[in-house]
Amino acid sequence: MSALLCTIVRQPSRSKSLHQSSKAINRFVKLFSSSVPRHKGLVLGVYEPNSEEGEFLLTPAAQKFNEHVSGKLKRVLKGTAGKKLKCGSSRVLFGLEETDFTSVAVVNLGKQDVDFDEDEQVYQGKENVRTAVAGALRLLRDAGETEVEVETCGDAQAAAEASFLSLHSFDEFRAEKDRTPSVKVTLFSEEIEQGSQVVEKWAKGEILAAGQNFARYLMESPANKMTPTIFSEKVGENLSQLPNCKVYIRDQSWARSMNMGSFLSVAKGSEEEPKFLEIDYEGGKSDEAPVIFVGKGVTFDSGGISIKPSANMDNMRADMGGAACVAGSLQAAARLGLPINIKALIPLCENMPSGKANKPGDVVTAMNGKTIQVDNTDAEGRLILADALCYAETFHPKLILDVATLTGAVMVALGAGVTGTYTKSEPIWNTIHTAGMITGDRMWRMPLLKYYTKQVTKADLADVDNVGKKRGEAGSCTAAAFLQEFVSTKEWIHLDIAGVMINIDDVPYLGKGMSGRPTRTLVQFLELLSKQ
């Protein structure tokens, strides 16, 4: 049963809805649950006592399991192990009689019925589930379990997100013996039998995690293994198979025909040919204006002639993080069947120093005819986005959202806690702010003032300057002001994700490495838009 169940949940039929998939799962559970033996780990949740002298409160699944093992789970929690069980942490129990599970991880989910935290701007109960489940799964993996069932812990979607995000690893180029052990994760079979709604929420969480993990895979890949051409092919192979998705890979001659001089000026420093990826997802009505996502796709950023320091330059393989998040969010939106039209625009190139590369002081011309003075070739992301934003406007979109690992300045200002967000539209801001509160991947609004616009429109040689006259001041704000010069609609929002590009220990349910943030927030944003 477990193997069949995992196959169905991880790869739902594209021709069926989540509801239809869940009905199929239930049929398989009833057919096979009694005949296939289990030998695996289990994750169960408990809530903190209501008082210092009180007992842990068991979730319904944990309560049922406790009855199955004759109350042993509660007795263990009353002892020393229970007293040391802090919020978000786990205890692994081995050898429980009367059960086929070889180990059981008990996780502390914090206080019961925790909801929105005004101070932290997040639904804390969901974050508690994600953190606790992720920690438990890693413990069971370290204990040698290769299959684990996870109960919902009160939020099936959050539990699934944590399960598949926490176990993701990038081992493609490691020897087999050095790879992180794989773990097959499924929803606790006792809860599957409760009905389709729980299964649908679990499946949705897995789809969201898969989208973010796809972004992480793209970001983590070495730059020589993820060139503009390879990125286009990987994303094309992935998304073109999904319902209502069409992928177009444009070449350099196409970009030249579109007068994308700003984009091509960055690309010319590299031997790798630039690509412009265009993806259509048509989930809404045929006459409905699309939401356009624009993702920065610099597959390696050396800084160009204004070359970066060598320390940590290898991380610049992920300077296409915006493009990766856009691709991951489109994958998830298509698999969820969101009723909305989306167009993704992804300019892809490398930023390299060569005899053909941009030089400080050069002037280039964008698609809309504006001239740009390139005073720093390491401020290249805004140059490729400028043309993509101009192109986006030709589709008369409902709104435009661009996402980019744009500035180190946003990392200094906000760190890894939130994504820097710029928009003049209150409805758009409210929607993405809400999306971030739900996913735990929060947004923070930054200023788009005329003060910053003046910094980039006082160029000596051209209409705009790509870094502004006050070097080193408010770099993320002036970068946003620069981009604003290439959109005429007020229905525009810019996300500067450089601060959230890498996860060290900032998000406990993500491992170290490229984070794929804020993919799940982009999907939640699309879902909220589709309901408006």
The 3 state secondary structure assigned to 230-274 is HHHHHHHHHHCCCCCEEEEEECHHHHHHCCCHHHHHHHCCCCCCC
Per-residue pLDDT at 313 exceeds 50: yes
pLDDT (0 to 100) of residue 82: 65
CA–CA gap between residue 254 and residue 248 (Å, rounded): 11
Confirm if 267 and 252 have CB atoms less than 8 A apart: yes
pLDDT the model gives residue 253 = 98
pLDDT of residue 54: 79
- Do 96 and 185 fall into the same domain? yes
Averaged over 255-279, what is the pLDDT? 98
* Listed residues 161, 194, 227: the one ending a domain: 194
Residue 9 forms part of a structural domain: no
Question: Quick one: 240 and 124 in the same domain?
Answer: no
Q: Is residue 437 part of a domain?
A: yes
Which residue's entry shows tokens 């794989």?
182
480 within a domain of the structure (yes/no): yes
**Would you state the pLDDT for residue 96?**
79
- In-domain check, residue 515: no
Residue 183 within any structural domain of the chain: yes
Examine the domain organization and report whether 269 and 418 are in the same domain. Answer: yes
Residues 143 and 231 in one domain: no
Residue 225 lies in a domain: yes
- If asked whether residues 225 and 365 sit together in one domain, one would say yes
250 and 116 share one domain: no
DSSP β-bridge partners for residue 445: 421
- Percent of the chain's residues with pLDDT above 90: 83
- pLDDT tens for residues 40-65? 899 999 999 887 767 899 999 999 99
Q: What is the pLDDT of residues 428-450, one digit of tens each?
A: 999 999 999 999 999 999 999 99
Q: Which residues contact 365 (CB under 8 A, 6 or more apart)?
A: 259, 261, 262, 371, 372
* Residue 211 burial class via C-beta count within 10 angstroms: exposed 0-12, middle 13-18, buried 19 and up: buried
Distance CA 78, CA 82 (A): 6
One domain, residues 486 and 386:
yes
451 has a pLDDT exceeding 50: yes
The sign of the CA dihedral 283, 286, 292, 295 is: positive
> Cα separations (Å) of 184 from 18, 45, 140, 181?
21, 19, 11, 10
* Residues 499-523 pLDDT 10s: 999 999 999 999 999 999 999 999 9
Residue scoring higher pLDDT (470 or 90): 90
Q: CATH no. for residue 265?
A: 3.40.630.10
355 in the same domain as 291: yes
Residues classed as catalytic: 308, 382
For residue 139, what is the domain's CATH number?
Answer: 3.40.220.10
In order of 195, 245, 458, 481, the CA distances from 451 in angstroms are 56, 41, 12, 9
Tell me: pLDDT of 110 over 60: yes
**Residue 516 maps to a domain:** no
Same domain, 397 and 270: yes
Least confident of 10-24, 104-118, 355-369, 471-485: 10-24
Domains identified in the chain, total number: 2
Is the domain of 152 the same as that of 238?
A: no
The candidate with the shortest Cα–Cα distance to 350, out of 327, 384, 388, 389, is 384
Residues 225 and 312 occupy one common structural domain: yes
Q: Which of 194, 227, 255 is the last residue of a domain?
A: 194
Asked whether residue 171 falls in the same domain as residue 238, the answer is no
The residue range of the domain holding 267 is 219-506
Q: What is the pLDDT of residue 2?
A: 35
How buried is 280 (Cβ within 10 angstroms: 0-12 exposed, 13-18 middle, 19+ buried)? middle
Is residue 428 within 8 A of residue 399, CB to CB? The reply is yes
d(CA 145, CA 41) in angstroms, rounded, equals 6
Rounded-to-integer distance, Cα 390 and Cα 520, Å: 26
Mean pLDDT of 182-203: 89
Tabulate helix, strand, coil % of the chain (nearest 5): 40, 20, 40
Residue 104 lies in a domain: yes
- What is d(CA 93, CA 294) in angstroms, rounded to the nearest whole number? 48
Report the 10 Å Cβ neighbour count for 412: 12
Pick from 377-391, 429-443, 470-484: least confident: 470-484
* Measured distance between the N- and C-terminal CA atoms of the chain, rounded to whole angstroms: 40
